[in-house]
Amino acid sequence: MDSVLLILLSTILLVCLKTYIDVRRAVRGNGNRPGFWSLVSCFGTLGFMFKEPRRGLTGGSLRFWRRRHLDFDEAGVDILTHISFIPNVRACLVLADAAAIKEVTSSRLLFPKPPYPALRVWGGNIIASDGEEWKRHRKVSAPAFSEPNNRLVWTETVKIMLDLFDNVWGSQDTVTVDHVVDSITLPVALFVISVAGFGKSASWQSDLLPPPGHKLSFKDALHVVSVDMFIQVACPKLLWKFAPTKRIANVKLAYEELEQYMLEMVQDRRKTEKKEERYDLFSSLLDASDSDSDVNVRLTDRELLGNIFIFMLAGHETTAHSLAFTFGLLAMHQDYQEKLYQHIKGVIPDDRLPTYEDMNKLTECTAVFYETLRLFPPVVAVPKVAAEDTSLVTTDFAGNKVVIPVPRGQELQLAILALHYNPRYWDDPHAFKPERFHGDWPRDAFLPFSAGARACLGRRFFETEGIAILTMLVSRYKIELRDEPEFANETYEERWQRLFEVKQGITLAPAHLPLVFKRR
């Protein structure tokens, strides 16, 4: 018994000693940078699964929402080291310095993105690839995001909003929703990605019956996949195979159905002798791949599915959550909502429907949308890794130049949320001030779409859809907070904390946002 206890204690001592040595090595590797530690990394799948931060235990991905720029304020410098211990000791450089982040995003070969094997659901794609494979995906994917596609996005978004006003809300002067994501922004984004992404019309009244050979309608399959995407990404292969719970079984079925729909779309498109001019992403992607003279560039059917899956992932949930935050902010700030309304009426004074040509004139809509993305960036951090030994330079808050060694293999996280709340770049960073996006503003400190060669290809798609929805809604309805007597005496700060409580899905999302829409 004494021998067993001795062996156990010796093992624990050796593990502790190794951990200590690993931590010291990790800290020294980054020049003994200040920072913070947690048992489980704030990044990656494990950190993603923790809902609430626990100081000293785990930060979880929501730690950055709670702290924003506070870790950097306390350290007095905008590049920190994050140490975690499970599943092994890891040291990650966390950047909230705009110049250093620009250097990283501008050097794709020196600072590549790590692979995302979990996102290869159907095949390789533009997000889960790098190097020559990424170049091939980008060559085929980039032309799909064209001006004709943007125009299609605008036109279809306006139609979908009209359908909502005329056939769902109808003659109601006041519409109250318990959660704006579930009731409005997620369905609208679903319909837009359906028609502009897949070329399949969907509306509030569309037929929900599945066609022959299918168990789900296209609309239902797309909805389940988009809402419960994380289940597939995080679910172990064995659980996914046997689907032990009803929810996992439903998600698995939706993935199978959506895959079948997309393969049928590929076959139908290729069988058509005279191809009509279509500008949805799926058709453009298929045409670009099939027509490329270099057979080594063409995408396989699995890769076509993989890319359209990524476009849906990036364009559907992101839009829904960003618009929900936008509506909530306007409900909180009635003065700015009135300013926005008057601006829209100034650009479109005759009550006609807004056109794609109006978009660049709707500068106040863009400012409101950008300020929302600054306060609530969809992704709180972007991962990179150093391909070789190098260094980064920053300046601490006392004005001293600091050179930080970055060894080969070093993990980095571009802390987008902390950057957006960095008082070095943004005056009164916690306040809602859309006017900051008029005139000159710090573009290098605004990265909701990332930056450099790996920046989001669908930025214009996203902006077009968002501004069209915002314009249509504010021009016809006033957005207000739901009257809740139990919160009648709360302060502005308390109301902000309550309304903008967030949860971490694939992107940052409002937990519960009840709103009222009143016809103007």
The answer to whether residues 303 and 141 touch, using CB atoms and an 8 Å cutoff, is: no
Instruction: Note whether residue 454 is domain-resident.
Output: yes
Instruction: Note whether residue 119 is domain-resident.
Output: no
Which range is least confidently modeled, 90-99, 329-338, 361-370? 90-99
The Cβ of residue 158 has, within 10 Å, a number of other Cβ atoms equal to 18
Three-state DSSP string of 155-208 = HHHHHHHHHHHHHHHCCCCEEEECCHHHHHHHHHHHHHHHHHHHCCCCCCCCCC
pLDDT (average), residues 507-515: 90
Q: Indicate if the pLDDT at residue 391 is higher than 70.
A: yes
pLDDT (average), residues 265-280: 73
* CA 445/CA 429 separation, integer angstroms: 12
User: pLDDT tens digit string along 204-248?
Assistant: 877 667 888 999 988 788 878 877 777 777 777 777 777 788 888
User: pLDDT tens digit string along 40-64?
Assistant: 666 665 555 554 444 444 455 677 7
Query: Within a 13 Å sphere around the CA of 265, how many CA atoms are in the beta-carbon half?
Result: 26
Say yes or no: 157 and 267 in one domain.
yes
Instruction: Note whether residue 64 is domain-resident.
Output: yes
Residue positions in the annotated binding site?
456
Query: pLDDT higher for 220 or 332?
Result: 332
pLDDT of residue 399: 92
| Mean pLDDT across the chain | 85
The residue written with tokens 């989001």 in the block is 456
pLDDT of residue 53: 47
The residue written with tokens 């949308």 in the block is 369
* CA 131/CA 205 separation, integer angstroms: 45
Q: Indicate if the pLDDT at residue 20 is higher than 70.
A: no
* CA 35/CA 413 separation, integer angstroms: 13
The answer to whether residues 376 and 325 touch, using CB atoms and an 8 Å cutoff, is: yes
Confidence of residue 401 (pLDDT cuts 50, 70, 90): very high
Say yes or no: 497 and 409 in one domain.
no
pLDDT of residue 235: 76
DSSP label of 246? H
Query: pLDDT higher for 7 or 478?
Result: 478
Instruction: Note whether residue 427 is domain-resident.
Output: no
pLDDT (average), residues 137-163: 91
Instruction: Note whether residue 124 is domain-resident.
Output: no
Say yes or no: 266 and 330 in one domain.
yes
Q: Phi first, then psi: what are they for 480, rounded to 5°? A: -135, 165
Share of the chain above pLDDT 70, in %: 86
pLDDT of residue 21: 59
Helix (H, G, I), strand (E, B) or coil at 383: strand
pLDDT (average), residues 129-139: 85
Say yes or no: 16 and 58 in one domain.
yes
* CA 463/CA 50 separation, integer angstroms: 31
pLDDT (average), residues 149-169: 94
Instruction: Note whether residue 435 is domain-resident.
Output: no
Residue positions in the annotated binding site for heme?
456
Say yes or no: 515 and 391 in one domain.
no
Say yes or no: 48 and 193 in one domain.
no
The answer to whether residues 408 and 388 touch, using CB atoms and an 8 Å cutoff, is: yes
Say yes or no: 267 and 310 in one domain.
yes
Say yes or no: 369 and 393 in one domain.
no
Say yes or no: 142 and 186 in one domain.
yes
pLDDT of residue 136: 87
Say yes or no: 405 and 364 in one domain.
no
pLDDT of residue 56: 44
Share of the chain above pLDDT 90, in %: 45
Say yes or no: 413 and 453 in one domain.
no
pLDDT of residue 478: 97
Say yes or no: 137 and 264 in one domain.
yes
Which range is least confidently modeled, 149-153, 239-243, 404-408, 497-501? 239-243
Most confidently predicted of 16-25, 115-124, 462-471? 462-471
State both tokens at 304: 């076509």
Amino acid at 312: M
The answer to whether residues 292 and 478 touch, using CB atoms and an 8 Å cutoff, is: no
- Count of the separate structural domains present in the chain: 2
Residue 319 belongs to domain with CATH number: 1.10.630.10
Which run of H or of E encompasses 519?
A: strand 515-519
Q: Indicate if the pLDDT at residue 26 is higher than 70.
A: no
User: pLDDT tens digit string along 422-480?
Assistant: 999 999 999 999 999 998 999 999 999 988 888 888 889 999 999 999 999 999 999 99
pLDDT of residue 286: 82
Q: Which structural domain range is residue 14 located in?
A: 2-111+382-420
The side-by-side arrangement of strands in the sheet containing 477-481 is 174-177, 515-519, 477-481
Instruction: Note whether residue 326 is domain-resident.
Output: yes
pLDDT of residue 15: 55
Amino acid at 494: E
Instruction: Note whether residue 428 is domain-resident.
Output: no
Q: Indicate if the pLDDT at residue 190 is higher than 50.
A: yes
pLDDT (average), residues 320-344: 96
* CA 143/CA 267 separation, integer angstroms: 21
